[in-house]
Structure 1
Amino acid sequence: MKILITSEWYSPVINGVVTSIINLKKELQHLGHDVRILTLSNQKKSFRQNEVTYISSLGIGKIYPGARITLSTNDKYLDELIAWQPDVIHTQCEFSTFRLAKYIAKHCGAPIIHTYHTVYEDYTHYFSPNRKWGKAMVAVFTKKVLKHATYVIAPTDKVQSLLKGYGVTQEISVIPTGIYLHQFTKKIQNRTKQQLRQQLGLSPNQRLLLFVGRLAKEKNLEEIIRYFARLNRQNLVLLIVGGGPHRHSLENYANKKNISDRVIFTGMVSPERIATYYQIGDAFVSASNSETQGLTYIEALASGLPAICREDPCLDNVIVNERNGWQYSSYEDFKEKLQWLISDKEVWQQFSKNAVESAVRNFSSTAFAQNIESIYFQAIKEHPKNHDSLPNFNQSSLNS
């Protein structure tokens, strides 16, 4: 099967959407499919690099940091993709690349499958002065975009319910995003972990709370910093891994709380090194309610790191209370659970073991790709275009 995946973001950008696409591409290729990527170039020219087509674009960072847009469909690289004749187009974003996907689908007759990654109503502060108006705009926009998709994929029940509330009438399948887990489940050598702790200036007796993710307002990191300050435990350090537009504000906030000596901002860390950061931690922490699933939560669990995170429906099948961590609802709740976790070695070890087991059982990239593949075949089967090659290239032959 020829599969075109489209996204505003792709490598070398590091975020949850890109991680999901990279893992999906790799697993679909293992299943025998021909997979190509269509994304936006970070410059005013288009080019192709191996299986990835980059379309020229312009930066619109004033709307959202790092955002880009393209307007023209008059591009030889788009013509190449049309000539390639994809059997299915899997869109991952709702803006420029979705419009390009529609253009390609119109010319080659392929169905569009769309994964809804982002809860935009949590990002209304970027484009609307009024949250209520912003949510209404998101609902109208989302419904208008998704009417062009044959199937919609939601990573959690939370997102499925949200889309139904917007009035989306397309069939919505809930498929948790899968992760290539080996790099996280593989045990890092103690020497490597000790070297990282030394580089970060950590003493042997200091315990470590870890956040990994984009530093943006919607991540609600102020709450974690505020709670951390209230704990007032001198042997506890908060390590914030990632970059983003809100970093300077967070650094100022930590300084205001007089804890800047115990809060470490690392900036961006390469994917090849991130597993070591997880494995030196004592607990993964997050206060975000803007996640559709939260891939860093799963990475943390796969690394054996128990999680203590703000209660959120998207985490109901990810963080299981009293098994691999807790979902907290208040400072008192956060303090109590953290104290129990880091003060009892046996509890921590059991939670760590449970964390790895739950991640491997529920979020492997192989199972994710197989579930996505079944949606592709169903969409092709129901689409008006006649796929003469499909009877000789089906799921049973691939999985036999």
Structure 2
Amino acid sequence: MNIGLFTDTYAPQVSGVVSSIQTLRQQLIDHGHRVYIFTSTDPNVPKEVLEPDVYRFPSFPFIGFKDRRLSYRGAIQAIQLAKKLELDIVHTQTEFSLGLMGKLVARQLKIPVVHTFHTNYEDYLHYVANGKIIRPASVAVIARSYMAGMTGVIAPSKQTFDTLTKYKVSAPIEIIPTGVSVKHAKQDDTSTYLREKLGLASQTPVVLSLGRVAFEKNIDTALTIFAEVLEQVPEAMFVIVGDGPAMSALKDHVRSLEIADHVIFTGEVDHKEVYGYYKLADVFLSASVSETQGLTFIEAMTADTPVVAIRSPYLETVVLDKNIGSLADDSYDLMAPLIMYLNAKKQQQVIGNPAVRQKVLHDIDEVTFGQRVLDFYSEALVVYHEEEDMEEADSNDFEYAKSFLSRTPFHKNNK
């Protein structure tokens, strides 16, 4: 099968969406399929670098979210390329520029188009003119309009499924959680080296935050909780891995809390070291309430690192035992389980049932994920010709594009 993945976001950008796409691509390739990435140009990719089966289209940065980009031309070239590659199915990963391009390609080639809804945009509207251009009520309209005519839609979690149902999306929706690698080679565990690099003793209790350092992640709240934890576990350290727009504000917050000696900001790290950071931690902490899935949570699970986080419909499906982690109804309730796991490190205590963790790991394995998506593709190919109404689909796409572009909140600087 020849598969086209259309996405505005791709490596070297760092995000959960990128990780999901790269995992899916590799699983599809491992099953013997040919996978082509249609994505935006990126100034961090040198022109002389060859990217096999990756096709980039001219783009500009998204206003207020400058490390994300949107393409502004290339639809005709994409159609010609897709015909040459003899695509069998299009899988879009964005509702914006490359997503529209993917839908157009599918219409022209008369092949099915499916979509993965990765992001609850209601939690990110502040990036676009402080939420003054696109309102929360508009998100449902945009999502519903974009997914009209889709052969099928993938929701990475029950929480996302419920959101799409609330939006009254008409396309068939299936829940397929994004998978991660649950098997790691011995050399992947660089935790001993990283502890030495960071100046952490082997017995120092470590709290970890890993991911994009953004305001919606509520890392400031996590730091405030950690400051209180230090009163009971005074030797604990908080390691924050990643970079993003909230970095400067968080450093100011750390100084105001007077805990600078207990917080380490690593900045963005090489992906090869990520597993090592999970392994060096005794607990993974998140105060975010914007996660529809949260790959960092399940990545922590693969490293046997318990998670402490705010309760969500998604996390309730994976955090099934204290061995996996603990969920709280509000940020203040994060403190008790955080202290529990840090003290367990000092006492060499095993909390909960490890067997439950192993069952969950099987369900989130990248191999399971890849097979479920392939089964979804197979079903889409079967039903496509029975259900596709080309005239109505084209009309839906035109109305969506017109309504979106009429208030497009993008930079005009095409760098």
TM-score, normalised by the number of residues in structure 1:
0.88
Partners of 1:195 and 1:31 lie apart in 2 by: 35
1:340 partner SS: helix
Q: Structure 1, residues 310-360: CA drift from partner, whole Å, max 9, x if none?
A: 111121112224241100124553222122222235785345945751442
The reply to whether residue 328 of structure 1 matches residue 328 of structure 2 is: yes
Paired AA for residue 92 in structure 2: T
* Higher mean C-alpha displacement, 66-75 vs 92-101: 66-75
Instruction: Please state how far the C-alpha of 1:385 moved relative to its aligned partner.
Output: 8.8
Aligned to 1:109: 110
Residue 390 (structure 2) aligns with = none
Which residue of structure 1 lines up, in the alignment, with residue 156 of structure 2? 155
Residue equivalent to 1:120: 121
Change (3 A) 1:107 1:46: farther
Give the aligned partner of residue 173 of structure 2.
172
Equivalent position SS for 1:178: coil
Task: Tell me which residue corresponds to 2:53.
Answer: 51
CA contact (8 A) 1:188 1:276 kept: no
Verify: 1:224 aligned to 2:225, yes or no: no
Which residue of structure 1 aligns with residue 3 of structure 2?
A: 3
Shift in CA distance, 58/48, structure 1 to aligned 2, threshold 3 Å: farther
1:93 aligns to what?
94
Give how far 1:241 is off.
0.6
1:46 positional shift: 12
**Residues 1:354 and 1:264: Cα distance change in structure 2 (over 3 Å):** farther
Where does residue 371 of structure 2 map in the other structure? 370
Q: Deviation per CA, 1:115-149, whole angstroms, max 9, x where unpaired?
A: 00001111121226569972101111111111131
When the two chains are superposed, the root-mean-square deviation of aligned CA atoms in Å is 2.6
Assess, with a 3 A threshold, how the Cα gap between structure 1 residues 348 and 159 changes in structure 2: closer, same or farther: farther
Does structure 1 conserve the Cα–Cα contact (< 8 Å) formed by 2:212 and 2:243? yes
CA contact (8 A) 1:311 1:327 kept: yes
Amino acid at match of 1:82: K
Question: Which residue number in structure 1 is paired with residue 280 of structure 2?
Answer: 280
Which one-letter code corresponds to 1:73 in the other structure?
G
* Paired position in structure 2 for 1:392: none
Aligned-pair CA distance for 1:68: 1.4
1:259 aligns with 259
SS at match of 1:49: coil
The whole-number CA distance in structure 1 between the counterparts of 2:114 and 2:276 is 35
2:51 maps to amino acid: Q
Q: Matches of 1:170 and 1:385 in 2, distance apart?
A: 14
Counterpart contact for 2:58–2:74, Cα < 8 Å: no
Counterparts of 1:1-400 in structure 2, within 5 Å, are 1-43=1-43, 49-60=51-62, 62-73=63-74, 76=77, 78-127=79-128, 129=130, 134-183=135-184, 186-187=185-186, 192-232=190-230, 233-344=233-344, 348-351=349-352, 353-354=354-355, 357-384=358-385
- For the 8 Å contact 2:206–2:342, the answer to whether it is kept is no
Deviations 1:144-167 (A, max 9, x none): 111131101001111111111111
Q: Which amino acid aligns with 1:55?
A: F
Give the direction of change, closer, same or farther, for the CA distance of 1:251–1:31 in structure 2 (3 Å limit): same
Q: What does residue 393 of structure 1 align with?
A: none
Unaligned stretches of 5+ in structure 2? 388-415
Distance in 1 (alpha carbons) for counterparts of 2:89 and 2:188: 43
Contact 1:321 1:327 in 2 (8 A): no
Q: Distance in 1 between matches of 2:331 and 2:382?
A: 51
Q: What amino acid is aligned across from residue 96 of structure 1 in structure 2?
A: S
Do the aligned partners of 1:47 and 1:55 also contact (CA within 8 Å) in 2?
Answer: no
User: Aligned with 1:67: secondary structure?
Assistant: strand
**What is the rounded CA distance, in whole Å, between the counterparts of 1:188 and 1:359 in structure 2?**
24
* Greater RCO, 1 or 2 (C-alpha within 8 Å, sep 6+): 2
Aligned 8 A contact 1:142 1:166 in 2: yes
Task: Give the C-alpha shift of residue 305 in structure 1.
Answer: 0.4
| Mapped partners of 2:307, 2:99: distance in 1 | 35
* Letter paired with 1:328: A
TM-score, normalised by the number of residues in structure 2: 0.85
Distance 1:130 1:244, change over 3 A: closer
SS at match of 2:18: helix
**Matched letter for residue 110 of structure 1:** I
Query: CA offset at residue 77 of structure 1?
Result: 5.3
Does the Cα contact within 8 Å between 2:13 and 2:67 map onto a contact in 1? no
Cα deviation, 1:69-119, whole Å, max 9, x if unaligned, reads 222235545522232221110111111110110221122111111000001
Kindly state the Cα deviation for residue 234 of structure 1 after the two structures are TM-superposed. 2.2
Q: Which runs of 4+ in 1 moved over 6 A?
A: 44-48
Following TM superposition, by how much is the alpha carbon of 1:256 offset from its aligned partner in structure 2, in angstroms? 1.0
Deviations 1:52-81 (A, max 9, x none): 111111123x33231212222355455222
Task: Label 1:58 to 1:275 Cα distance change in 2 as closer, same or farther (>3 A).
Answer: same
Q: Distance in 2 between matches of 1:67 and 1:132?
A: 18
CA change 1:141–1:203 in 2 (3 A) is same
Matched residue of 2:326: which SS?
strand
**Which secondary structure state, in structure 1, belongs to the residue aligned with residue 36 of structure 2?**
strand
CA distance in structure 1 between the aligned counterparts of 2:373 and 2:78, rounded to whole angstroms: 26
* Number of the residue aligned with 2:404: none
